[in-house]
């Protein structure tokens, strides 16, 4: 049975799995997208992650249509930052793009408000006050209920929190970093910071974009999927370490008789600081394997074996033995 958790200190209750809609209108056509939406709802998921750039607004339009009969029963996110057109100002965290971008997202989502609006990436060209004032206005107008940041370093989140506090702007309440068995960088600073600040944490790519599903266990050369077809993902998961993780992880799953995707999602869920992993799929059958994670309990021995394949990163500071 799926459980519900508080999203940081927002008080909003969200399912312990969030479904990510990045495949809507891309690797999943409309009917498959709708089928996945319904499968999630039947499983008890009330939390859906989206972004303006997912298929240039198509994912938002699909999601808007699917939620239309039950808008207030679901918690939805969207994001702003990425280029949505050719104009020089149609990107970034400047006040103009934030205002026009969020208004356009609301139209596509066919709703008056978005539950969480994420700044999709840090924008070093814009003063934090500019960005935060622009989003604070959207919060005051009721168009955005809570704010989040994605792909920010811990010091950038802390800086945003400081600027909001001294200006009495709405604070950042949620972070969205990448986090999976093969990519554990969030453990160093982001997750401890989230605990300290009481932030909600929804992490993306629990399967490493497919790396942790068995489809790359024999290497990349004869495989198909995002890691070989998409240049960014190819760079992100390219190299000997990731190929070795894919292979050894699959061997471990066979030994324990556990589905690769189910275990990878359960591993992220098991981190005490994670509110909900954002699961992704292009097919309902794949989605179902990730949904099984809610009923999997991880033995300490299994966690140790996973650490041996992909070790926890060293802490950000040394001399912890003296504390
Ligand atoms: N904030 C950000 O910058 C950011 C970035 C990325 C994602 N996200 C969010 O996080 C969500 C999930 O991210 P993600 O798609 O990268 O997650 P993921 O769970 O790491 O990867 C999902 C992909 O793995 C493959 N897959 C899933 N289940 C499978 C199975 N059982 N067997 C074999 N392959 C399987 C599919 O790849 P194929 O598509 O190749 O079939 C699927 O699209 C997105 O929808 C989005 O909402 C956010």
pLDDT digits (tens, 9 = 90+) for 171-198: 999 999 999 999 999 999 999 999 999 9
Task: Return the ligand 1 atom nearest residue 282 CA.
Answer: 43
- Average pLDDT of the segment spanning 289-312: 98
Q: If you average pLDDT over every residue of the chain, what do you get?
A: 97
Q: Does residue 315 have a pLDDT over 90?
A: yes
pLDDT at residue 32 tops 90: yes
**pLDDT value for 237:** 95
**Which percentage of the chain shows pLDDT scores above 70?**
100
Mind listing the pLDDT tens digit for each residue in 235-286? 999 999 999 999 999 999 999 999 999 999 999 999 999 999 999 999 999 9
Q: Which of 4, 37, 54, 249 is catalytic?
A: 54
d(CA 246, CA 252): 10
Kindly report, residue by residue over 120-172, the tens digit of the pLDDT.
999 999 999 999 999 999 999 999 999 999 999 999 999 999 999 999 999 99
pLDDT at 221: 87
- Please give all residues whose beta carbon lies within 6 A of any atom in ligand 1, as ranges: 20-23, 27, 49, 150-151, 176, 204-210, 213, 215, 225-226, 261, 278-282, 286, 289-290
pLDDT over 90 at 222, yes or no: no
How high is the pLDDT of residue 118? 98
Residue 321 has pLDDT above 90, yes or no: no
Q: Would you say 130 and 138 are in contact if contact means Cβ atoms under 8 Å apart?
A: no
Contacts of 45 (CB under 8 A, 6+ apart): 2, 15, 17, 18, 19
Rounded CA gap, 191 and 18, in Å?
18
Domains of the chain are: 4-213+260-299 (3.20.20.100)
* Ligand 1, atom 47: closest residue by C-alpha: 20
Longest Cα separation, the chain:
58
The helix/strand/coil state of 24 is strand
Residue to mutate, 81, 265, 280, 291, ligand 1, most ligand atoms under 8 Å from C-beta = 280
Nearest CA among 173, 176, 178 for reference residue 199: 173
Closest ligand 1 atom, CA of 121? Answer: 3
- 209 sits in the region (left: phi over 0; alpha: psi -120 to 50; else beta) called left
pLDDT at position 191:
98
- 170 CA → ligand 1 middle, Å: 30
Q: What is the pLDDT of residue 320?
A: 85
The predicted structure's pLDDT at residue 142: 98
Mutate to test the pocket of ligand 1, among 17, 19, 22, 267 (most ligand atoms within 8 A of CB): 22
User: Is residue 54 flagged as an active site residue?
Assistant: yes
């Amino acid at each position: 049975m799926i459980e519900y958790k508080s999203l940081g200190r927002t008080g909003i209750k969200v399912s312990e799995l969030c479904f990510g809609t990045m495949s809507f209108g891309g690797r999943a056509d409309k009917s498959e997208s709708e089928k996945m939406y319904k499968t999630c709802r039947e499983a008890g998921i009330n939390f859906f992650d989206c972004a303006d750039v997912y298929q240039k607004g198509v994912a938002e339009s699909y999601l808007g249509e699917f939620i239309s009969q039950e808008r207030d029963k679901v918690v939805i996110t969207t994001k702003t930052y990425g280029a949505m057109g050719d104009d020089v100002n149609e990107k970034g965290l400047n006040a103009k793009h934030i205002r026009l971008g969020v208004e356009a997202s609301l139209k596509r989502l066919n709703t008056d408000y978005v539950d969480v609006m994420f700044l999709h990436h840090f924008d070093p060209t814009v003063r934090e006050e500019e960005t935060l004032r622009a989003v604070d206005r959207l919060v005051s107008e009721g168009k955005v209920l809570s704010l989040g940041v994605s792909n920010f370093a811990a010091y950038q989140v802390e800086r945003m929190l400081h600027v909001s506090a001294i200006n009495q702007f709405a604070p950042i309440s949620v972070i969205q970093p990448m986090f999976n068995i093969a990519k554990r960088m969030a453990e160093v600073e982001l997750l401890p910071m989230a605990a300290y600040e009481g932030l909600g944490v929804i992490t993306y790519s629990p399967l490493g974009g497919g790396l942790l599903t068995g489809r790359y266990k024999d290497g990349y050369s004869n495989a198909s999927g995002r890691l070989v077809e998409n240049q960014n993902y190819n760079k992100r998961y390219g190299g000997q370490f990731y190929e070795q993780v894919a292979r050894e992880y699959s061997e471990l799953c066979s030994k324990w008789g556990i589905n690769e995707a189910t275990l990878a999602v359960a591993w992220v869920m098991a981190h005490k600081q994670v509110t909900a992993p954002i699961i992704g799929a292009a097919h309902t059958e794949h989605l179902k394997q990730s949904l099984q994670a809610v009923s999997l309990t991880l033995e300490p021995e299994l966690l140790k074996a996973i650490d041996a394949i992909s070790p926890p990163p060293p802490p950000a500071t040394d001399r912890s033995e003296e504390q």
